[in-house]
Amino acid sequence: MVDGDVAAGTAARDSVEDAAHEAAQAEARAAHAKSVYALADAMLRWGLRLATPLVLVTIGVATLSAGQSGLVGAAFGATLGFGSSLVTITMMRIAATRPPSTLMTLALGGYALKMSALLLVMFLLRDVEGFSRPALAFGMLVTVVAWAAAEVVAFRTTRTPTLVVPRSAERVTDE
């Protein structure tokens, strides 16, 4: 009977350790998601702060230099750039509750897909009349570069942990 009691005690202790480990993992996932959401919010704020004035100046210059076709081209390019940036923020929010490796896969894969899609749009619009192609290119370029700079500023100014170690995991491993 003593061996049965020891086995039951060991099983109970293993069950408690598994529950503590699972709780630590859940805490780490929650902290990771919270930091990704905070970074996505900061990226949106900084993106709008930096990109909007630059885009308005670009649209104004394009309108003055190429008339209505410059206005249409720069505005469409800026719209494509803003849409591309909003896709990044949406992907971050989707991946926030997933493991960090998934987040990085979505970020890098999404970036490659977005740039390919923007290139494809530029390729498809090469024979379309009614807008200035240079204004389209500059509108998109200014927007994408401004959002990229805003993402860097957001990352540097937001308190985003790059390694999340839950407090309960520290207690479990110390035993």
**Is residue 149 over pLDDT 90?**
yes
| 1 in any annotated domain | no
CA 82 from chain centre, in angstroms, equals 13
| 45 in any annotated domain | yes
**Is residue 25 over pLDDT 80?**
no
| 79 in any annotated domain | yes
Tally of structural domains, the chain = 1
For residue 131, give the amino acid letter: F
| 158 in any annotated domain | yes
pTM over 0.85: no
What is the predicted pLDDT for the residue at 90?
87
35 vs 96: CA distance, rounded Å: 8
Structure tokens at 147: 């959002």
For residue 119, give the amino acid letter: L
57 vs 51: CA distance, rounded Å: 10
| 135 in any annotated domain | yes
Average pLDDT, the chain: 82
Domain range enclosing 45: 17-162
| 175 in any annotated domain | no
87 vs 94: CA distance, rounded Å: 10
Q: Which is nearest to 17 in space by CA: 123, 173, 157?
A: 173
Average pLDDT estimate for 130-151: 92
What are the residues whose beta carbons fall under 8 Å from the beta carbon of 173, sequence distance 6 or more?
none
Could you tell me if 124 and 135 are in contact, meaning their C-beta atoms sit under 8 angstroms apart? no
| 10 in any annotated domain | no
| 37 in any annotated domain | yes
* Residue 76's pLDDT band (cuts 50, 70, 90): very high
